[in-house]
Structure 1
Amino acid sequence: MTHTSPHTHPHPHPAHAAHRHASPPADGTGGDQAELLDLEAEVFAEHIASVTAWLPAETAPRHIVDLGCGTGAGAFALLDRWPEARVTAVDSSAEHVRRLREKACARGVEDRVETVRADLDAAWPDLGTPELVWASASLHHLAEPDRTLRRVHELLAPGGLFAVVELAGFPRFLPETAPEIRPGVEERCHAALAHRHAEHMPHRGADWGPRLTGAGFTVEGERTDTLRIEGAGNEAVGPYAVNALRRLRGSAADALPAADLDALDQLLDAAGPHSVLRRADLAARTERTVWAARRGR
């Protein structure tokens, strides 16, 4: 893993732009998405742990709320960081919530985890008064994220911390000149989808620092990490790449020429000679920016 630019600031400041995501609100089933999130959590587990360790919590939080929890990558990293805490994990997907609950039971922490299925763009359930709220790759999916920031400010205990994690685009896996059968096909997929993402996720790429300040928070820290996880050193990278590229192909199919679609099919054929699983240069590459913002006392 490589990373750059972790830093802490005592005063509010504009933050770097961040965008992406891995975890859009699901439609109620979310099986394929849940599998992708599970693999992503495994690939980037070290980074998630480093972020939780970096958070400037003044005291150990007793209650944490995870907004847009997915299948639990953040929730369980936070529980590892603070063994006495309990987490309320909120997501719109029944499948995500189910998987998270199963993981909590398997880990023996079911008494420390409450799952809540809720649409964050609608009326919120009672989430208590947490000392820490975590939102990883979820804010830019919301219709009115500024309203959500204000809600979080109201929700937090005085002096509480709000951690926002956003990702710069969808992950990449192949070198720019790959694959040999059709160089650059991965980047062409991303380019084909760029206008669609701009239309359906207009808040992707938002500068969350000023928006947090505008909601009443003081931004105390920001870090931008450039991540590269080599497939040779992490066995989850291959399946993660297959899952992500399959979803990418499905989304971009109507905008790509037949030759690109054929190349993607060969990359996704696990038994074929061009399978991504056979590549020694496979790596998961992305960029994540984290903001730590505090509610005043």
Structure 2
Amino acid sequence: MAHDHLIEMLDLDAEVLSAYHRDLIAWAGREAGDRPHIVDLGAGSGTGSLALARELPGARVTAVDVSPEMLAHLRSRADATGLGGRITTVEADLDQPWPEFGEVDLIWASSSMHHMADPARALASAHAALRPGGVLLIAELESFPRFLTGTADEQVEAMVHTEADKMRHDAGLHMHENWGTRASQAGFTEVVERHFDIALEPPLPAAARRYAEVTLGRMRHRLEGRADLEALDRVVAGLSSRDDLSIRTERTVWLARR
């Protein structure tokens, strides 16, 4: 069930924040060449792999993830949309020595680098995997989505985010790293950084309300025992019928070349 909710959340993120994702893919496509081999690190539910294959018709994608459940979901979606012939899945723990991918033109790392146990080693592996002139794109969340800004429940959501930030810190996740500096230290050049401030105002479509439900519901599950969640339970129970939800989040993206 936890995997089901994560898959749905990732899929909804791509649907609801589609303008951001299209902008990112178009940028990557311009830098990677006409018929690139793309490696999607921590591919998850496959939203990135599928969008890359769809938006870049000449691309072939190797989707890498540690979770066989995620990869099975990805393969099913790729086959259902006619993209299975251009997407290969590889089960691998990227904190271990990386598998051989062949010649790689673009490494796509969307919300995956902060999970690496040793960022320096992961970036060295990425540098070694790319062909000379190949491109690394790292996209990370500067702030997780907020849905209740300006409402009476804004402080409830703020409490949840404070507790979730503590949990991520305790888990040793590498949030808020300067990945551009890290990439330069690993030998990458031509590092470019872009910041995206995303703000979607009400009224939002049904998919956005479901995105809020799944995101806050998943946070509530993960915070069990760490905070008083009665107020959050009340908020989550009423999300599907609200017309005052907004979406605010920040993403930072680094593009670097070997």
User: Considering the TM-score relative to the shorter chain, is it more than 0.5?
Assistant: yes
Please tell me whether residue 263 in structure 1 is matched to residue 231 in structure 2.
Answer: yes
CA RMSD of aligned residues (A): 1.9
TM-score in terms of structure 2 length: 0.93
List runs of 5+ in structure 1 lacking aligned partners. 1-27, 270-274
Higher relative CO (Cα under 8 Å, sequence separation at least 6) belongs to 1
Equivalent residues in 2 for 1:54-133, closer than 5 Å: 54-55=27-28, 56-57=30-31, 59-133=33-107
Q: CA deviation at 1:115?
A: 0.7
Q: Distance in 1 between the 2:219 and 2:173 partners?
A: 19
Question: 3-state DSSP class of the match of 1:255?
Answer: coil
The residue type equivalent to 2:246 in the other structure is A
Higher helix share: 2
SS of the residue corresponding to residue 247 of structure 1 reads helix
1:50 and 2:23 are equivalent in the alignment: yes
Q: TM-score, normalised by structure 1?
A: 0.81
Q: Which moved more, 1:56-65 or 1:189-198?
A: 56-65
DSSP-derived class of the 2:40 partner: strand
Alignment: residue pair count? 257
* Larger strand share, 1 or 2: 2
Structure 2 residues without counterparts, runs of 5 or longer: none
Deviation at 1:84, TM superposition (A): 1.3
Closer/same/farther in 2, CA of residues 88 and 147 from structure 1, 3 Å limit: same
C-alpha deviations, 1:61-87, integer Å up to 9, x for none? 421100011111211222233201100
Indicate if the aligned counterparts of 2:184 and 2:191 stay in contact, CA closer than 8 A.
Answer: no
Residue 18 of structure 1 is matched in structure 2 by none
Deviation at 1:29, TM superposition (A): 7.2
Residue 128 (structure 1) shift:
1.4
Percent identity, aligned pairs only? 42
Query: Conserved in 2, the CA contact under 8 Å of 1:31 and 1:95?
Result: no
Q: Is 2:32–2:135's contact at 8 Å kept on the other side of the alignment?
A: no
After superposition, the C-alpha distances for 1:202-238 in whole angstroms (9 at most, x for unaligned) are 4111111111001110134221001123453433111
From 278, 281, 284, give the equivalent of 2:241: 278
Amino acid at match of 1:47: Y
Aligned equivalent of 2:110, options 132, 136, 146: 136
Within 2, Cα distance between the matches of 1:184 and 1:288?
A: 22
Show the counterpart of 1:200.
171
Q: Is the 8 A contact 2:32 2:106 kept in 1?
A: no
The answer on whether the counterparts of 2:12 and 2:207 sit within 8 Å (CA) in structure 1 is yes
Other structure's SS at 1:126 match: coil
